[in-house]
Amino acid sequence: MPSEYDRKDENLVKSIFQSLVNQYVINVNQSEGVAYLQGIHEDQIFPSVNIGYDEICRITGRQKMRTTVKDKFKNMLEAEGLVVFLQEESLLVQYPQIKQEGVTKFNNFSELTDNISNVKREYNLSENEYKSKEDFELNNPLRDPFS
C-alpha cells in the first residue's frame, strides 16, 4: 500500500531529473559544442546538485529522513539514469557524464532551478536583440541540441 509520501517522492524525483536535463541542455547550447572539443570546457556540461535531506523533508513534508527513505530516493533517482551518492547530510545527484570527469555543481535544488529560471528569463528578455524570430528561436537555451 503506497504511503502518503509516495506521490510527493515521485514528483520530486521527476522534478530533479527534469531540472538536471534542462540544465544539461542549457550547458550544451551555451557551449555551442565547444565543450566536446576542448577538455577545459567539459566542466560546463554535466550538472550536479547537492540536495540536503532537510530540503527533501521540507519539499515532501517529512519530519526526518530515515536510512530507508534515503535509499529509496537513491534508487528512484538511479532508475531515472542519474548518478547518486549518499552523503552524511545530503544526496549528490549528477547528470551522467558522457565523456571525462567534470560537473557544474549546484549547492542545492533551489539553486539549480533558480539558475534555469534565470536563463529562461534572460533569453525571453533578449528577443528584441534578434533580427528575426528564427534567430531568436535558434538561440533558445532549452532547445533540443540534438535535433
C-alpha cell at 109: 535544488
Q: How far apart are CA 67 and CA 65, in angstroms?
A: 7
54 within domain boundaries: yes
146 lies in a domain? Answer: no
Contact assessment for residue 69 and residue 62, using Cβ atoms and an 8 Å cutoff: yes
Q: For the chain, what is the domain count?
A: 1
pLDDT at residue number 88: 92
pTM (2 d.p.): 0.70
Is 108 a member of any domain? Answer: yes
pLDDT at 30: 76
Identify the domain containing residue 45 by its residue range: 6-138
Beta bridge partner(s), residue 83: 94
Q: In what order do the strands lie in the sheet with 90-94?
A: 83-86, 90-94, 47-52, 104-106
**Mind listing the pLDDT tens digit for each residue in 94-130?**
988 765 333 467 888 988 888 889 889 998 998 888 8
Residue with cell 542519474: 82
**Sequence letter at residue 76:** M
Residue 144 lies in a domain: no
Q: Give the position of cell 547537492.
A: 50
For residue 70, what pLDDT is reported? 94
Helices 67-79 and 6-31 meet at what angle, rounded to 10?
A: 50
Dihedral over Cα of 34, 37, 39, 42: its sign: positive
Instruction: Answer yes or no: are the C-beta atoms of 29 and 85 closer than 8 Å.
Output: no
Sign of the dihedral through C-alpha 34, 106, 77, 22: negative
Going residue by residue through the chain (147 aa), what tens digit of pLDDT does each one get? Answer: 678 889 999 999 999 999 999 998 888 777 765 555 555 555 567 889 999 999 999 999 999 999 999 999 999 999 999 999 999 999 999 988 765 333 467 888 988 888 889 889 998 998 888 888 888 888 888 887 766
